[in-house]
Structure 1
Amino acid sequence: MAWPPRRSSGRSSRRQRNIALLGRAATIAAVAVAAMLLVLSRASPDRYSALRSGAADLVAPLWTAILIPLAEVQAAAGSVADYFKAVEKVRLLEGRERMYQIERERHAQALHENRELKSLLKVSEPARERIGVFAISGSSTGAYVRYALISGGARHAIEPGQPVLAAAGLIGRTVDVGKRATRVMLLTDVSSRVPVRVVRTGLPALLIGKNLPLLDVDLSGPSNSEVRIGDRLVTSGDGGLFPPGLTVATVVSVSGDMPEARPAATPDGLDYVIVERPYMPPMPLPEEPTQAREAHPEAVIQQQVAE
């Protein structure tokens, strides 16, 4: 059995009618004011501008008074949220610190073991010799060459084929040496080849310049999947020119035929660089045996005359 609908009292129905009437009146008034303002803006722009300025002066204090407590409430809510997030951040940082502490201990242990092994095996390592610190005069980027110019030359003991370093890592090597200036071939030059290794895996690789901001990473056999984005590349010491362990580049892409890496140091924004002697000096040529000299006395005489 359905209950009959509840009858509303006359007082409540009258209140509802009054509210609906007031709503309609407010809507009509708002539309009328908007229409008047629109007509005023078209008919008299100067009066409309003055009216807007007056309304802004009237509303600004009220708006400021409303915004202040709202800003305080938002700041309080943000502080509460930051407080609860701080606990999670502290736990995350503590976990990372424990992980880094373990890695530091492993690294220190490995360095200690390496020193002991080298001492037992009496390993002889060439010492790095710095020639000097020189200012960068400029850099050039062409279609086929990438060079930088430094303010040092033959009078400063600079020779072709010497490594050029910056605080961030390897820049390139010297190629054309004048008396007071030297041209440096950058890593991005198409003729640049730098033997490196991947720090994470120890894989050997070859960095190849291509006159672009990025370098090709030739892994010489292993597939591209054996390097990851973010892997650091350092010099391997192969060839004897660059000392091992210098930061060179970071892998930024593993798609395509070859992974690509971004150089750690570029001449843009640098003021000074370091020039060093080659890590391992070139092997001296073997001297001609005495019997060969005696067998060719004319060649020896011609050499003495030339000197």
Structure 2
Amino acid sequence: MAPARDRRTGFSRRRQYSTFLGYVLAVAGAVVGAVLLVVSTFNPPAFSALRMGVASVTTPVASGLDAVSDAVMTVPQAIGTWFRVHGENDDLRAEAKRARALLTRARTIAYDNRRLRALLAVRERTPEPVVTARLVGSTASSGRRFALLNAGRFQGVRPGMPVRGPNGLVGRVLETGPVAARVLLLTDPESLVPVRRTRDGLPAIAAGRGDGRIDIRSVNATNVRFAQGDMFVTSGTGGLYAPGVPVAQVERGGADSVTAIPFAAPDSLDFALVERPFMPMPLPPAPRPAAP
């Protein structure tokens, strides 16, 4: 049977009061909402305390829901991380095994080096720094390459002392004054530095070009191949520069003579370290007094 379409309350007092109360509440709610809307439009700070009170109540609830949501979202990530960690552990174990073999070999080589040095009575010589000075200028427009240090004889700087920066060799002291010194840079055409290749110890000569680059030339050998990226350090030959100081890196591969880029750029250095010569030249013997 279809429901009756007559929605009148009839003679029931309860239904009449319920309907009337519903209308009153709806009208009152609409009026209160309209008043609040008007007040919030013309005076927004009036409800700041109420908003903050509601926010204080809802914030802990929102924080709890957010924490639960984050915990649920981290479950797939934790599963993926578990599988990935196992793969990384296997890779690390294999790498540690290879490193252990290399470490054993390095220890053996170090032991042999110490034993041979003891047999040959070789002494380690470490150049003592003289002073740390500022590079106040360098030439860039002429064919010669010099730099100026703000330290001289008063600070103990003498001609022939090596000058190096944090990245490698800069040059050597050419002339000194009371509080200044002129440095002959590696890129000067008159600069010659004995070097060796880091990967196999091949001896060579680093000669300046005068254009910010260095020529690496082989010594006592022909058809020597240089690869791009080969690094050269000082060899200690000649006794002026200490061995192992970075000098330059080959720019392009070639044979017998190649162009290299110096590690230390004087125009980008603020300070440089002046060192004593690695092996100072022996003093000439004192003249013997004439026989009476």
CA distance in 2, matches of 1:228, 1:91: 35
Contact 2:218–2:256 (8 Å) recurs in 1: no
**Alignment-mate amino acid for residue 123 of structure 1:** V
Aligned to 2:209: 210
Aligned to 2:199: 200
Change (3 A) 1:93 1:255: farther
CA distance in 1, matches of 2:85, 2:141: 51
Alignment of 1:143 with 2:142, yes or no, is: yes
Contact 2:153–2:176 (8 Å) recurs in 1: yes
Q: By how many angstroms is 1:209 displaced?
A: 0.2
Q: Deviations over 1:86-124 (max 9, x none)?
A: 999999898777666654554443233212221233223
SS of the residue corresponding to residue 157 of structure 2 reads coil
Counterparts of residues 48-197 of structure 1 (less than 5 Å): 102-103=101-102, 105-197=104-196
Change (3 A) 1:133 1:94: farther
Aligned to 2:245: 246
Aligned to 1:227: 226
Q: By how many angstroms is 1:136 displaced?
A: 1.5
SS of the residue corresponding to residue 139 of structure 2 reads strand
Aligned pairs, number: 213
Q: By how many angstroms is 1:262 displaced?
A: 1.1
Aligned to 1:281: 280
Q: By how many angstroms is 1:257 displaced?
A: 6.3
Change (3 A) 1:231 1:87: farther
Computing the radius of gyration over CA atoms, which structure comes out larger, 1 or 2? 2
Aligned to 1:261: 260
Contact 2:203–2:235 (8 Å) recurs in 1: yes
SS of the residue corresponding to residue 266 of structure 2 reads coil
Contact 1:224–1:258 (8 Å) recurs in 2: no
Q: By how many angstroms is 1:270 displaced?
A: 1.6
Change (3 A) 1:187 1:288: same
Q: Deviations over 1:254-303 (max 9, x none)?
A: 2376212111111122211111010011111122233xx237xxxxxxxx
Contact 1:209–1:216 (8 Å) recurs in 2: yes
CA distance in 2, matches of 1:271, 1:193: 24
Contact 2:129–2:275 (8 Å) recurs in 1: yes
Q: Deviations over 1:129-171 (max 9, x none)?
A: 1102111112112332111112111000000000011111111
**Alignment-mate amino acid for residue 176 of structure 1:** E
CA distance in 1, matches of 2:88, 2:212: 37
CA distance in 2, matches of 1:231, 1:91: 34
Contact 2:224–2:256 (8 Å) recurs in 1: no
Aligned to 1:60: none
Contact 2:126–2:242 (8 Å) recurs in 1: no
What is the percent sequence identity of the aligned residues?
A: 35
CA distance in 1, matches of 2:231, 2:92: 24
CA distance in 1, matches of 2:281, 2:175: 19
Structure 1, unaligned runs of 5 or more:
1-82, 296-307
**Alignment-mate amino acid for residue 211 of structure 1:** G
CA distance in 2, matches of 1:232, 1:115: 26
CA distance in 2, matches of 1:139, 1:173: 14
More helix by share: 1
Change (3 A) 1:241 1:228: same
Give the TM-score taking structure 2 as reference length. 0.63
Q: Deviations over 1:175-207 (max 9, x none)?
A: 111111111111101110000111212111000
